[in-house]
Amino acid sequence: MELKVHLVQQQRLSLTPRMKQSLHILQLPLMELRQLIEEELTDNPLLKEATEDAGGENFEEFINYRENWQQSQAGNSEKEEELYNFRESLITQAVTLQQRLLHQLRIMRGSESILKVGEFLIGNIDDSGYLQISLEGVAKSLSVPIAEVKQTLSLIQTLEPAGIGARNLKEALLLQLKRHKRENSLAAKIVKNYLEDLGKKHYRKIGKSLNTSLEKVKRAKNEIGNLEPRPGGSLSPAKKIPSPIPDVTIKKENGKYQSILNHQYLPRLRINPFYQNFLKRGNLSSSTRCYLRKKLSNALWLIKNLQRRETTIKDIVDHIIEVQKDFLEKGASHLKPLTLKEVAKTVKRNSSTVSRAIRNKWVQTPLGNFELKRFFNGHIKRNHQEPCLPAGKPLTSQSIKTRIKCLIGNEKKKSPLSDEDILKRLKFEGIDIARRTIAKYRKQLKILPSYLRKE
Residues 386 and 442 in one domain: yes
Residues 257 and 363 in one domain: yes
Can you tell me the mean pLDDT for 76-88? Answer: 48
Q: How many domains does the chain have?
A: 3
pLDDT value of residue 389: 41
Residues 331 and 427 in one domain: no
Residues 356 and 390 in one domain: no
390 is a domain residue = yes
pLDDT in tens, 285-297: 888 888 888 888 9
Q: What is the C-alpha to C-alpha distance for residues 128 and 97, in angstroms, rounded to an integer? A: 9
Residues 170 and 143 in one domain: yes
Least confident residue range of 39-43, 230-234, 422-426, 433-437 = 230-234
pLDDT value of residue 240: 47
pLDDT value of residue 378: 58
Q: What is the C-alpha to C-alpha distance for residues 371 and 360, in angstroms, rounded to an integer? A: 7
343 is a domain residue = yes
Residue 113 CA, chain-centre distance (Å), reads 44
Residue 386 has pLDDT above 50, yes or no: no
Domain range enclosing 397: 379-453
Helices (H) and strands (E) in the chain, counts: 22, 8
Can you tell me the mean pLDDT for 119-137? Answer: 87
DSSP notation for 226-248: TS-SSTTTTTSPPPP-PPPPPSE
Beta bridge mates, 297: none
Residues 101 and 220 in one domain: yes
Residues 366 and 386 in one domain: no
Phi, psi of 432 (to 5 degrees): -90, 110
136 is a domain residue = yes
pLDDT value of residue 254: 86
Domain boundary among 193, 210, 225: 225
412 is a domain residue = yes
Residue 190 has pLDDT above 50, yes or no: yes
Residues 283 and 194 in one domain: no
266, 30 contact by CB (below 8 A) = yes
Beta bridge mates, 364: 249, 369
pLDDT band for position 392 (cuts 50, 70, 90): very low
Amino acid present at 198: L
Helix (H, G, I), strand (E, B) or coil at 342: helix
Residues 283 and 215 in one domain: no
Phi, psi of 73 (to 5 degrees): -65, -40
Phi, psi of 14 (to 5 degrees): -135, 145
417 is a domain residue = yes
Domain boundary among 225, 260, 276: 225
Residues 119 and 219 in one domain: yes
pLDDT value of residue 304: 92
Can you tell me the mean pLDDT for 59-65? Answer: 48
Q: What is the C-alpha to C-alpha distance for residues 305 and 24, in angstroms, rounded to an integer? A: 10
Residue 61 has pLDDT above 60, yes or no: no
Q: If you average pLDDT over each of 50-54, 109-113, 258-262, which comes out highest?
A: 258-262
CA gyration radius, the chain: 33
pLDDT in tens, 325-379: 888 887 766 778 888 888 999 999 888 888 888 888 899 888 888 888 888 865 5
Q: What is the C-alpha to C-alpha distance for residues 379 and 256, in angstroms, rounded to an integer? A: 27
81 is a domain residue = no
Residues 288 and 356 in one domain: yes
Residues 293 and 384 in one domain: no
**What CATH number does residue 442 fall under?**
1.10.10
80 is a domain residue = no
Domain boundary among 225, 257, 290: 225
